[in-house]
Structure 1
Amino acid sequence: MRKVNRFFMLIALSLACFSGISQVFGQGEGKLVFFIPVEQEVERGLEAFLKRSLETAKERGADHIVLNIDTPGGRVDAAGNIAKIIQNSNIPITAFIENKALSAGAYIALNADQIVMKPGATIGAAGVIDSAGNAADKKAQSAWIANMESAAQLNNRDVIYAKAMADPEIDLPQYDAPKGRYLTLTAKKALEVGYAEAIVNDNTELLAFLKLQEAKVEKMEVSFAEKIARFVTSPIVIPILLSIGSLGLIVELYSPGFGIPGTMGLTSLGLFFYGHLVAGFAGWESMVFLVGGIILILLELFLPGGILGILGLISILASFFFASYDLAHMAISLAIAIILTVILAIVLYKFVGYRGTLGRIILKDATSSEKGYNSYHQRDELLGSVGVALTDLRPSGTAQFADERVDVVSEGTYISRGSEVKIIKLEGARIIVREISKG
């Protein structure tokens, strides 16, 4: 009987311990939460950073991911790719809007499993605009509105508010979004309409809401290399880098030695490729094309003919396209750089001429009579001489001047054999004569 009682006591103690452990783990003990910043503009550099961050969280066995969002929006394509990364994650993700999640930022937040906001935070204003700041075409707007609707449906949110964020034709005056204005929700209004699960003041309160206050916290930081990558892969910065790179190298060709212009040019191009490599857009194939193109152009200096130089230029241009995440934008950026480079080259040639490095690789010497280069024997001593036509001049023929027979050409008129002629002009190898009239 005692053995039976002991057995039941052990079971009871085990259940009690298990219950206690479950309660502790329910409060977050032994769990890991990753905090990932989603800041500044939404672009392809941010996409690369978030992809690395979520992969790291998965490798470390994270139980929950928090996206600390504060962004004015950005590129639609980058936001779409980030949304796919979030949707494919098997780790619960909370979007914690600390200040604003506008435009593409709102779309990213809607793709998370839940949204939590700070008291002064906002979400919305997700209209699509082009690079010139104007409203995008109807096709692009329609696709974006559909994406916003789909994101809202992921967590059973009322799609009318997502549509109103992207479509100014939706009339919601009660939320300060009458027809003609994009909807932007404050934290309080977002909570009212089901676009936020809670309002908290900081990460500590957020963890308490998630029942993870005892969890271990790790914060992802944007590395220095990723900061450079995010900067140089910006659609605004790319054409500037390419222009500085090409202009710097052109100026260096007209400058003695190698100085600041060449350094700026090489640094700009180096930053372009380095940033795109770090962001994951450029592979080693782009570097192979770049190095191969440079080698071909150098070979052209020793094996002139034009073919190697053209192939080298094509290879270098191809390297930029291989490194690009947007072929159309890259084409525009290269066009801008090429136009500016051609204009500068013309200006420098006009006012500076062939100097510096360019002066050493371009042949400037010319053969002239002053330097003793002649393709014929100059007969200046014959000018004014009088002789006799040995043949009919029709208009060319032969004439006798003193003891010398000379090939001559008349002014254009026929001169019969035996007529007296006079040399009136020398044009290179042509000796022009005129008949002396007998009066």
Structure 2
Amino acid sequence: MNAVSYTAAAVAVAICALVALASACRAADADKPAGPTVAYLRVDGMIDALQSRYFARALADAQKAGVGTVVVHLETNGGTLEAGREMMSAALGVTKNQPRMVAFVDNYCYSAGALVAYAHDEIYLAPPATIGDIGVITQSAEGKIEYAPEKIEAVVRALLRSEAQLKGWNEAKLVKMTARNQELYRFDFDGRQEFVIEDDLPQWLRAHPDVDPQSKVPILGKDRYVLYTAQNAVQEQMATGVADNIDAVYAKLGVSKSSVLDLSPTGTELMARTLSGFAFILAALTALCIFLELKAPGVGIWTGLAAIFGTLFFICQFYQDLASYPEVILVVIGIACIVVELFVFPTAGWLAIVGICLGLSGLILSFMPDIGQFNPTSAGWGDALANALMQSLLSLVVISIGAAVIISTLPQSRAVRRIATLAEIDGTSAGEMESDASVIGRRAVTRTALSPSGSIDLAGRDISATTEHGEYLDAGAAVEVVAMRYGAAIVRPVAAAGSAS
């Protein structure tokens, strides 16, 4: 096995080991502490696909741990409707009080965040907190913000009605958080109050023939949304109570902090979220560093950088539930096939093609959610595939541009050539390497097949080499060194075989 093979193996082992470590750490986080009674989840920032996948995974971990209560700490201005709907569905999917779902808002919780909050059995608010305003808006490519059409708002109203009916919140008040063009009324009769949204008014009056329609009291008019302060929410029975902080919530629930299973995002997971927007660049940098190592084997720095970028990429995707062992295995096998084709057992390019296909498959799958990844009939599968293909295409574009820059620019860099040459010297066992000028014009014999890269035997020294015009040469062919570039010899075949001079 030559230096390049060791390089590929080192990159593969490093990536697999670190991803396995990340998996073990995440599993360990879900197992501590022993015998918890309450699980703590933290949703902070924009409600998006990352938050949705985290919420579903953490909620599943909490149920697996057998806790009796799940406390979800919310602080968000909202986010995408799709992600909010997924998180709402996950919370509503928990059988009532199995475990009990409790939301805590210590600052603000609007739009999609409020949609998620009211999917809980109880809601506690800190004194300065506000909650509500589930107005649905769209933003154009030019940045113009507009209210969503009725077609979309009707869906959100239906979701809020479902929450109210399943969790016991007042349906009219909840619907008014998103029903911009409807009025909210109150009727006072038989010693009680009832709130009715404009859409429901005719049906409500038919069900209450003894109530005077003119006795309705307008509470909130059109073009306005329900938005509560903490005290208002409690008074209007749209929150369970007020709690100064999360410890006060635990006290109200009658549990000690020591019995809490902390499932809030870890530092590694938060880093993965931060890097998620640059995942395609990390994948491209991994490939480019491997390419550099193939061009200048023995340097070592490119192997290390490839391992770092590859590990960051897979950990980033792993914590987003986008990649796991199958994707890593596909990529590693793909790299191995290419290395074998180039340096061990040439197959006229067929093995390299297989390797490229496997690597691309692993890359594309690394951008698709693990759940439903191989189920084309699952909801959102088409959008997930389109996004994965787009991210993979961006990676390939970066790789192509980077490779072009490397080939055209770096070989002329004095510093890089110096590093590569020194590495080549360190990798030989026959003393000092002659200067580039003294090597040019000398004859050598190909030690491995050049397709078009491989190695040659020059006076007993094993040197990386590439054919001048990309042609294929069998092992044992006589060649002449025509240039030294980037620490590797550029060779052309000579008319007759002969021993190296």
- Change in CA separation of 1:241 and 1:129 when aligned onto 2, cut-off 3 Å: farther
Deviations 1:173-197 (A, max 9, x none): x999973x77644323433544322
In structure 2, C-alpha distance between the alignment counterparts of 1:334 and 1:134, rounded to whole Å:
30
- Change in CA separation of 1:52 and 1:343 when aligned onto 2, cut-off 3 Å: closer
In structure 2, C-alpha distance between the alignment counterparts of 1:143 and 1:265, rounded to whole Å:
47
Task: Please tell me whether residue 63 in structure 1 is matched to residue 68 in structure 2.
Answer: yes
Deviations 1:227-270 (A, max 9, x none): 444444x3x23334334434544555666754656544442222
Structure 2 equivalent of residue 202 of structure 1: 245
Structure 2 equivalent of residue 239 of structure 1: 280
Task: Please tell me whether residue 334 in structure 1 is matched to residue 392 in structure 2.
Answer: yes
Task: Please tell me whether residue 303 in structure 1 is matched to residue 303 in structure 2.
Answer: no
Structure 2 equivalent of residue 362 of structure 1: 466
Equivalent residue of 1:201, what SS?
A: coil
Of 129, 132, 147, which aligns to 2:159?
147
- Change in CA separation of 1:288 and 1:166 when aligned onto 2, cut-off 3 Å: farther
Partner AA of 1:295 in structure 2: A
- Change in CA separation of 1:216 and 1:107 when aligned onto 2, cut-off 3 Å: same
Partner AA of 1:113 in structure 2: D
Matches within 5 A, 1:58-207: 58-74=63-79, 76-89=81-94, 90-126=98-134, 127=136, 143-144=155-156, 146-159=158-171, 162-163=174-175, 165-166=177-178, 179=223, 184-207=227-250
Task: Answer whether contact 1:175 1:185 (CA < 8 A) is retained.
Answer: no
In structure 2, C-alpha distance between the alignment counterparts of 1:353 and 1:275, rounded to whole Å:
33
Task: Please tell me whether residue 294 in structure 1 is matched to residue 305 in structure 2.
Answer: no
Cα displacement (A) at 1:129: 5.1
- Change in CA separation of 1:248 and 1:125 when aligned onto 2, cut-off 3 Å: farther
Of 19, 31, 37, which aligns to 1:32?
37
- Change in CA separation of 1:182 and 1:330 when aligned onto 2, cut-off 3 Å: farther
Partner AA of 1:150 in structure 2: S
Task: Answer whether contact 1:33 1:216 (CA < 8 A) is retained.
Answer: no
In structure 2, C-alpha distance between the alignment counterparts of 1:135 and 1:327, rounded to whole Å:
28
Partner AA of 1:284 in structure 2: Y
Task: Answer whether contact 1:248 1:262 (CA < 8 A) is retained.
Answer: yes
- Change in CA separation of 1:339 and 1:34 when aligned onto 2, cut-off 3 Å: closer
Structure 1 unaligned segments of length 5 or more: list them: 1-29, 375-439
Task: Answer whether contact 1:167 1:182 (CA < 8 A) is retained.
Answer: yes
Cα displacement (A) at 1:162: 4.6
Structure 2 unaligned segments of length 5 or more: list them: 1-34, 185-217, 370-383, 425-451, 454-463, 471-478, 483-491, 496-501
In structure 2, C-alpha distance between the alignment counterparts of 1:207 and 1:321, rounded to whole Å:
43
Structure 1 equivalent of residue 20 of structure 2: none
- Change in CA separation of 1:321 and 1:120 when aligned onto 2, cut-off 3 Å: same
- Change in CA separation of 1:164 and 1:266 when aligned onto 2, cut-off 3 Å: farther
- Change in CA separation of 1:67 and 1:256 when aligned onto 2, cut-off 3 Å: same
Task: Answer whether contact 2:327 2:362 (CA < 8 A) is retained.
Answer: yes
In structure 1, C-alpha distance between the alignment counterparts of 2:299 and 2:140, rounded to whole Å:
37
Percent identity between matched residues is 24
Cα displacement (A) at 1:97: 0.9
- Change in CA separation of 1:230 and 1:175 when aligned onto 2, cut-off 3 Å: farther
Partner AA of 2:262 in structure 1: M
In structure 1, C-alpha distance between the alignment counterparts of 2:259 and 2:108, rounded to whole Å:
23
In structure 2, C-alpha distance between the alignment counterparts of 1:256 and 1:131, rounded to whole Å:
49
Task: Answer whether contact 1:249 1:266 (CA < 8 A) is retained.
Answer: no
In structure 1, C-alpha distance between the alignment counterparts of 2:349 and 2:165, rounded to whole Å:
60
Aligned residues: 340
Deviations 1:83-134 (A, max 9, x none): 3332233211110111222333222211111211112222245436579667
Give me the TM-score of the superposition, normalised by structure 1. 0.62
Task: Answer whether contact 1:46 1:230 (CA < 8 A) is retained.
Answer: no
Which protein, 1 or 2, shows the higher relative CO under an 8 Å CA cutoff with sep ≥ 6? Answer: 2
Cα displacement (A) at 1:46: 4.3
Structure 1 equivalent of residue 436 of structure 2: none
- Change in CA separation of 1:102 and 1:350 when aligned onto 2, cut-off 3 Å: same
Task: Answer whether contact 1:94 1:113 (CA < 8 A) is retained.
Answer: yes
Equivalent residue of 2:260, what SS?
A: strand
Cα displacement (A) at 1:342: 1.8
Task: Please tell me whether residue 277 in structure 1 is matched to residue 381 in structure 2.
Answer: no
Task: Answer whether contact 2:183 2:219 (CA < 8 A) is retained.
Answer: no
Between 45-54 and 131-140, the greater mean CA deviation after superposition: 131-140
Q: Radius of gyration: which is bigger? A: 1
